[in-house]
Structure 1
Amino acid sequence: MTAMSLALTPASHAAPAASWSSTSLTLPPLGNLDAYISAVNRIPLLSADEERDCAQRWRQHQDLEAAGKLVMSHLRLVVAISRQYLGYGLPQADLIQEGNIGLMKAVKRFDPAQGVRLVSYAVHWIKAEIHEFILRNWRMVKVATTKAQRKLFFNLRSLKRGFKADALDEDAARERLSEAEIDVVARELNVRREDVIEMETRLGGADVVLDPLPNEDGEEAYGPIAYLADHRHEPTAVLEARERERLGSEGIEHALAQLDERSRRIVTARWLQVNDDGTGGATLQELADEYGVSAERIRQIEAAAMKKMRQALRAYA
């Protein structure tokens, strides 16, 4: 089905119609879920012969009117199925909307020659769309990706309530399974014990805002981002560290090469050499004795050399 356009007009409060021939297909205005449910429950069902005729017209001639009848007559089925998933905390209107998409997919693929009614065929497609919607929206982080995880997600809570029939639904959903109950769940759903334990942990958790918004006083709230961030591997810090390392090796060699022999000797002796006892390099007086000048003169030569090296490093960087 490539497209389907259904006119929506305010619902009539008249008595339910007995058949499609005497029915004016109407739906309530958007935003009123109770009125929508009431309206779709008044839409008449198709008999087996009417359903087969509509399905054949759609498959053979792409008759949108026939497809529309198939969809509209099963909207109540979507409403009924959507009620089974209200415990996940998502709006029923959204569940119905996704289920309607599944219903239209079922109508598109329905083959009356298979000998089954559309209601039996459509259940799978409706539930599949609702399941996918719940998995996408139940949590910010998707909790089930594999087939085993999906099976556990939609069955674990109901099984836990079955183990604890005397507890309230929410209390049962929160209470941890015992080792024996984990074995029962794994056996009934044909999954591993590890999968049951992992899914129970996921369902018991909650989304956490890593970087919370400021509180009411305007102060920054403390969140996990403060202690989860590893600044050592932050891209800017990594690039800066690499640049410092490059300047500390290649850059220093380049800057020293710009000095005359005496200046290079003084800078190397003062800052780049370590004595045998682990202390710093030569003192000004030691170098002054070596070159036969005053310590002040050595300091002046050192200052001029350092200035020249800084300029060389800036140009190298």
Structure 2
Amino acid sequence: MVDSVALPVITGGDSIESYIQRVNAMPMLTHEQEIDLANRYRHDNDLEAAGQLVMSHLRVVVSIARGYAGYGLQQADLIQEGNIGLMKAVKRFEPTRGVRLFSFAVHWIKAEIHEYILRNWRLVRIATTKAQRKLFFNLRSKKTGFAALTRAQAEVIAHDLGVKPEEVFEMETRMTGQDIALMAEDGDDDGYAPIDWLADSDNEPVRQMERQSYDRLQSEGLQQALGTLDPRSRRIIEARWLGDEGSTTLHELAAEFSVSAERIRQIEAKALQKMKDALEPAMA
């Protein structure tokens, strides 16, 4: 299967540029070479041919992934998700249709990156319909400046993307909202900050008991949920979600367990669901 193709590994943020240099140094294929390799893979299940198709298009993934740098996710993970999309494209590519793999793969690469962003960006919970997802990924390019949208501008964007103007405003708020300082700046004795308007109820006995109970539930519940996993699944979850220095990438874990990045992602998804099922009774 294409999933077993060994890709260059991105070992961390510091090596992202060296990875890009490596994939950019890989030779491009002519149209004839592309057709020959695709036929070898489709008709003879030649994994070496599939590997050459994937490797020669890794630079395409890098180029596309760079366009999603503003969503607060690691570039390495965006590239790896795009690589999975590329492998899916190679698996489904039919050279007889006269379309170059580059053009065919763009859809699969973007689709995989989009799904990854929507799964991981906690602010975008309203992007549940196709129209809202289109709004999410196109609002930045539709805006003509940094100023807030006017009603007229929002109506134009809403019409173009098939959503309501109110949805445009809400998405803009979610994507451009900034943190507000709780405390006043040093030296600003005459100013007022949000903390001046808030009642301090954290130290009330009832609140302290609730917080202690919740913290205990979170800690014990998490450990119990992790205890339901097999050693490999637990290692993947701890590396991806519970590490102190950021998440381990899919390809790092793929190299550790000698499987594909896609397989690691499947194990991760299954493990998270199993943990969620284990936690639900405690959170009810």
| Alignment of structure 1 residues 111-190 onto 2, 5 Å | 111-139=94-122, 142-160=125-143, 162=144, 164=145, 172=146, 175-190=147-162
Which residue of structure 1 aligns with residue 26 of structure 2? 43
Report deviation, 1:78.
Answer: 0.4
Report deviation, 1:199.
Answer: 2.3
Task: Give structure 2 stretches of 5+ with no counterpart.
Answer: 180-199, 211-284
The residue identity in structure 1 corresponding to 2:163 is V
Which residue of structure 2 aligns with residue 52 of structure 1? 35
Report deviation, 1:158.
Answer: 2.1
Taking the aligned partners of 2:93 and 2:125, their CA distance within structure 1 comes to: 31
Q: How many residues align?
A: 183
Which residue of structure 2 aligns with residue 103 of structure 1? 86
Judge which range, 196-205 or 147-156, deviates more. 196-205
Which residue of structure 2 aligns with residue 250 of structure 1? none
Whether the aligned pair in 2 keeps the contact of 1:78 and 1:99 (CA below 8 Å) is yes
Taking the aligned partners of 1:150 and 1:141, their CA distance within structure 2 comes to: 9
Query: Superposition RMSD on alpha carbons, in Å?
Result: 2.6
Any idea what SS the aligned residue of 1:90 has?
Answer: coil
Whether the aligned pair in 2 keeps the contact of 1:135 and 1:143 (CA below 8 Å) is no
Report deviation, 1:126.
Answer: 0.4
- Give the % identical residues: 60
Alpha carbons of structure 1 residues 99 and 221: separation in structure 2 relative to 1, 3 Å: farther
The residue identity in structure 2 corresponding to 1:52 is I
Which residue of structure 1 aligns with residue 59 of structure 2? 76
Which residue of structure 1 aligns with residue 73 of structure 2? 90
**Structure 1, residues 217-251: CA drift from partner, whole Å, max 9, x if none?**
xxx9949xx7xx9xxxxxxxxxxxxxxxxxxxxxx
| Alignment of structure 1 residues 296-311 onto 2, 5 Å | none
Taking the aligned partners of 2:11 and 2:70, their CA distance within structure 1 comes to: 24
Taking the aligned partners of 1:46 and 1:115, their CA distance within structure 2 comes to: 15
Any idea what SS the aligned residue of 2:163 has?
Answer: coil
Alpha carbons of structure 1 residues 140 and 179: separation in structure 2 relative to 1, 3 Å: closer
Report deviation, 1:30.
Answer: 2.9
Taking the aligned partners of 1:45 and 1:111, their CA distance within structure 2 comes to: 19
Indicate the structure (1 or 2) with the bigger Cα radius of gyration: 1
**Structure 1, residues 83-110: CA drift from partner, whole Å, max 9, x if none?**
1111112111111000000000000000
Whether the aligned pair in 2 keeps the contact of 1:28 and 1:35 (CA below 8 Å) is no
Alpha carbons of structure 1 residues 191 and 28: separation in structure 2 relative to 1, 3 Å: closer
Taking the aligned partners of 2:178 and 2:2, their CA distance within structure 1 comes to: 39
Alpha carbons of structure 1 residues 222 and 73: separation in structure 2 relative to 1, 3 Å: farther
Alpha carbons of structure 1 residues 185 and 29: separation in structure 2 relative to 1, 3 Å: closer
Any idea what SS the aligned residue of 2:148 has?
Answer: coil
The residue identity in structure 2 corresponding to 1:183 is E
